[in-house]
Amino acid sequence: MNELITRKTQFIHLGLIDYQQAWDYQASLFSKILEVKKVNRELPADQQKPTDNFLIFCEHPHVYTLGKSGDEANLKIKKNDLHAIQATYVHTNRGGDITYHGPGQIVGYPIVDLENFFTDIHKYMRLLEESVIQTLQEFGIKACRIAGMTGVWLDGDDESRARKICALGVKTSRWVTMHGFAFNVNTDLNYFKHIIPCGIDDKAVTSMEFELGKKQDIRMIEEILKAKLIHLFELELK
């Protein structure tokens, strides 16, 4: 194997953290990886350095985030009224439309150089989805994908019952990734009433707590999800 290719990955749990603060932290890691790749292009092979990979888990206080090509009209609450529900709003540089982040949701940010794994964004997205699908299987919840839509769904083959349990939105540059997924575990679903989630107005949103009828142990679910990601991406945790 090329000595520059490494699947060694540092896992970082940021706990409950402001969205902008987490975004800035992601961006700093993302930029450092890109800088290494830029410098490597100017160096002979024996002087080039391997790039780092990171897997970040966290939760955010109530916040609505809009993707770079999203429609702000999908935020149904006036910005001036956000303080009344203790929420904020951020326009981000990820793909996708509008979504909600809040306590009780596992937010995952893989900051990885896909040249260490595979150069296929479609495969990357599908493996993120698969990690959540396999995690839900451990709790007897059958999840799936819907053709043409990102994310993880329940009852995806029934238009009247389909509901999303995990949203995805990423940014990539020179095969380096940032942003990621938001997996509803004990999420307050009432906050989704103030948006058209992901710009899709004919499908519902759900959580593990709602589906199973009781609050879940989010730390345990994080460990299961982390194990699925390690297996599917063949990560080597530092």
Contact 10, 81 (CB under 8 A): no
Stretch (H or E) spanning 38: helix 19-41
C-alpha distances out from residue 186 to 27, 109, 174, 203, 223, Å: 27, 19, 35, 19, 16
Rounded distance between C-alpha atoms, residue 75 and residue 115, angstroms: 36
Which listed residue (58, 144, 166, 198) is catalytic? 198
Q: CA separation (Å) from 98 to 61, 107, 144, 178, 194? A: 16, 15, 21, 17, 11
In terms of Cα–Cα distance, which of 98, 93, 107, 11 is closest to 61?
107
Nearest CA-CA partner of 106 in 67, 60, 49, 55: 60
Whether 198 is catalytic: yes
DSSP string for 115-176: GGT-S-HHHHHHHHHHHHHHHHHTTT--EEEETTEEEEEESTT-TTT-EEEEEEEEEEETTE
Residues with a catalytic annotation lie at 198
